[in-house]
């Protein structure tokens, strides 16, 4: 209720204020002003406001506003001023009545039709006001020339209001679209992290299956040799089996999250690279680093392997961001070579020592330490290489002149074009 009253007040004040920006085409009190453009825009934009109520209130308010202005600014007698401005109230009454009868708000998606309806309603309302003034004896005779003038100014004000409304609507839709796009990107990056965990959970489940089988075989062997430890071996096998079942349930839950229909659609390679760049620009800003990112991707190709590629590229580019001390540059390049698609991630950070290049893909190996001297996990590149291998691809480091660091991701194009879902894991 409070919000509605505020909207009513805004429309009345705007109409009265812009109503003073006027021309008097017939030399009398009848005017063309921007007030009706503001009023028409208010009716379109604030659709929660009752049309007939706002028409009655705005007509009355505008009439008394003009009376007050005449009295204060020009020293007019209020009774005479009221007699002069009463017909203007009839304009707003008739405008909202015709606006309601034509159901103009239903045509906001058709600007041309809405503009024509507004122009017609405006012209008809002006005729009502002129008739009221003619009855009171203060209006010129209505001629075809005056009707054409009413139509012209009605169309001018109507299409101005409709154009303004559409301009605001487009900006609002774009703002909503940008927010939605940012939210989708955030969800994709979250799903990328989940994909990495799911990928290695699946790998761990294979190992758990092997351990369960070996434990049971050990139990059978000890049982056949009448060893007293056979029951203990069976107990271990049963517990490992339960851990495997729990892992299957966790994996099923993660897959359900990752395979959301809204997020599992195909994405173009250029959009995917743009997502990686934008995410790491924010990461660089958070670290207080000035990094120039360059993206070159002229490949017209889309893929459903979104999370696999995001996981690998984001890992490599994030490593490049961390390797740059204060300022530098990072390049993400994509190209075709025979039947492969190749991603290049190049940075001019601190570089990788020659003796470290043979170890960087080993699990647990790291050269990164935090401020307290604690080492990183050293699993990022190992994860990335494992994911690339699952796509029959290769992740290598290219020999470059120091301090340039150049990683190359080479994946067969048919793997990129694979049509199955985000992940295809089975359970045993």
- Give tens-digit pLDDT for 119-153: 898 888 888 888 887 777 666 666 777 778 888 88
> By the 8 A CB rule, do 387 and 270 touch?
no
Candidate from 25-29, 89-93, 218-222, 283-287 with smallest mean pLDDT: 25-29
Confidence of residue 331 (pLDDT cuts 50, 70, 90): very high
pLDDT of residue 376: 47
179 within a domain of the structure (yes/no): no
Task: Note the pLDDT of residue 374.
Answer: 47
Instruction: Determine the Cα–Cα distance for residues 128 and 116; give it in Å rounded to an integer.
Output: 18
Q: What is the mean pLDDT of the chain?
A: 78
Question: Where does the pLDDT of residue 330 fall: very low under 50, low under 70, confident under 90, or very high at 90 and above?
Answer: very high
pLDDT, one tens digit per residue, over 154-175 is: 888 888 888 888 888 888 888 8
pLDDT, average across residues 58-71: 87
**Per the domain annotation, does 297 fall within a domain?**
yes
Residue 49 falls inside a structural domain: yes
Residue 355 pLDDT grade (very low, low, confident, very high; cuts 50, 70, 90): low
Residue 344 domain-assigned? yes
Per the domain annotation, does 345 fall within a domain?
A: yes
The pLDDT score that the predictor gives to residue 261 is: 45
Would you say residue 388 lies in a domain?
yes
Asked whether residue 135 falls in the same domain as residue 268, the answer is: no
**Tell me, what CATH number does 276's domain have?**
3.30.565.10
Given 142, 158, 190, the domain boundary residue is: 142
Structure tokens of 306? Answer: 């979104």
Instruction: With 0.85 as the threshold, say if the pTM is over it.
Output: no
**Considering the chain, what percentage of its residues have pLDDT values greater than 90?**
6
- Distance (Å, rounded) from C-alpha 222 to C-alpha 154? 99
Minimum mean pLDDT range among 289-293, 310-314, 341-345, 353-357: 353-357
Task: Check whether 343 has a pLDDT greater than 90.
Answer: yes
Question: Do 271 and 412 fall within a single domain?
Answer: yes
Cβ proximity of 94 and 134 under 8 Å: no
**336 sits in which H/E element:** strand 327-337
Q: Which residues make Cβ contacts (< 8 Å) with residue 366, sequence separation at least 6?
A: 375, 376, 377, 378
Q: Tell me the average pLDDT across 313-342.
A: 89
For the ranges 123-127, 256-260, 343-347, the one whose mean pLDDT is highest: 343-347
CB atoms within 10 A of CB 101: 10
The residue-averaged pLDDT of 338-343 equals 89
Q: Name residues whose C-beta falls within 8 Å of residue 223's C-beta, 6 or more positions apart in sequence.
A: 230
pLDDT for position 345: 92
Mean pLDDT, range 194-223, rounded to an integer: 70
Mean pLDDT of 197-202: 62
pLDDT higher than threshold 80 for residue 44:
yes
The total number of structural domains in the chain stands at 2
344 pLDDT more than 90 = yes
For residues 258 and 310, the answer to whether their CB atoms sit within 8 Å is: no
Q: How many CB atoms lie within 10 A of CB 12?
A: 20
Q: Residue 169: which residues within 8 A CB-CB, separation 6 or more?
A: 108
Q: How far apart are the first and last CA of the chain?
A: 61
pLDDT of the residue at 195: 62
Q: What is the pLDDT of residues 368-403, one digit of tens each?
A: 544 554 444 446 677 788 888 888 889 888 876 667
pLDDT mean over 302-321: 84
Evaluate whether residue 205 is within a structural domain: no
Question: What number is the average pLDDT over the span 167-189?
Answer: 78
Rounded distance between C-alpha atoms, residue 367 and residue 372, angstroms: 14
Number of H-type helices and E-type strands within the chain: 11, 9
Q: Which spans in 225-305 are helix H?
A: 230-258, 269-286
Examine the fold and report which residue of 142, 165, 194 is the final residue of a domain before the chain moves on: 142
Asked whether residue 62 is assigned to any structural domain, the reply reads: yes
Q: Which stretch of 17-26, 69-78, 292-301, 410-419 has the lowest confidence by average pLDDT?
A: 17-26
pLDDT (0 to 100) of residue 262? 44
Q: What is the pLDDT of residue 418?
A: 66
Note the pLDDT of residue 258: 61
Domain boundary pick from 120, 142, 164: 142
Q: What is the mean pLDDT of residues 399-408?
A: 77
Give residue 64's domain range.
Answer: 1-142
pLDDT at 333: 93
pLDDT at 265: 62
């Amino acid at each position: 209720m409070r919000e509605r009253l505020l909207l009513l007040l805004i429309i009345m004040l705007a109409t009265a204020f812009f109503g003073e920006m006027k021309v008097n085409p017939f030399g009398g009190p009848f005017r063309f002003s921007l007030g009706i453009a503001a009023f028409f825009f208010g009716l379109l934009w604030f659709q929660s406001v009752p049309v007939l109520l706002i028409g009655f209130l705005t007509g009355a308010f505008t009439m008394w506003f003009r009376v007050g202005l005449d009295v204060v600014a020009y020293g007019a007698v209020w009774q005479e001023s009221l007699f002069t401005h009463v017909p203007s109230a009839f304009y707003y009454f008739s405008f909202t009545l015709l606006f309601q009868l034509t159901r103009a708000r239903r045509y906001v998606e058709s600007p041309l039709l809405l503009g024509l309806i507004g122009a017609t309603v405006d012209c008809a309302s002006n005729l009502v006001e002129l008739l009221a003034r003619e009855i009171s004896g203060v209006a010129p005779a209505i001629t075809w020339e005056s009707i054409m003038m009413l139509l012209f100014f009605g169309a001018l004000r109507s299409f101005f209001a409709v154009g303004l409304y559409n301009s605001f609507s487009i900006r609002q839709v774009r703002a909503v679209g940008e927010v939605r796009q940012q939210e989708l990107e955030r969800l994709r990056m979250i799903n990328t992290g989940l994909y990495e965990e799911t990928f290695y959970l699946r790998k761990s489940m294979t190992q758990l299956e092997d351990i369960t089988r070996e434990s049971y075989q050990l139990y059978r062997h000890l049982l056949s040799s009448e060893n007293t430890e056979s029951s203990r071996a069976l107990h271990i096998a049963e517990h490992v089996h339960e851990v495997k079942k729990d892992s299957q349930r966790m994996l099923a839950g993660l897959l359900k999250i990752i395979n959301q229909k809204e997020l599992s659609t195909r994405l173009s390679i250029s959009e995917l690279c743009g997502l990686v760049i934008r995410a790491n620009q924010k990461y660089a800003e958070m670290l207080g680093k000035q990094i120039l990112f360059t993206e070159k991707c002229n490949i017209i190709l889309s893929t459903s392997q979104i999370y696999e590629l995001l996981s690998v590229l984001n890992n490599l580019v994030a490593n490049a961001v961390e390797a740059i001390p204060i300022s530098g540059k990072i390049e993400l390049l994509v190209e075709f070579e025979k039947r492969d698609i190749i991603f290049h991630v190049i940075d001019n950070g601190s570089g990788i020592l020659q003796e470290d290049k043979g170890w960087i893909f080993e699990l647990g190996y790291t050269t990164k330490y935090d401020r307290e001297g604690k080492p990183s996990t050293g699993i990022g590149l190992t994860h990335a290489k494992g994911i690339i291998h699952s796509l029959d691809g290769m992740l290598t480091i290219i020999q470059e002149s120091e301090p340039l660091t150049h990683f190359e991701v080479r994946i067969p194009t048919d793997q990129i074009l694979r049509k199955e879902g985000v992940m295809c894991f089975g359970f045993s």
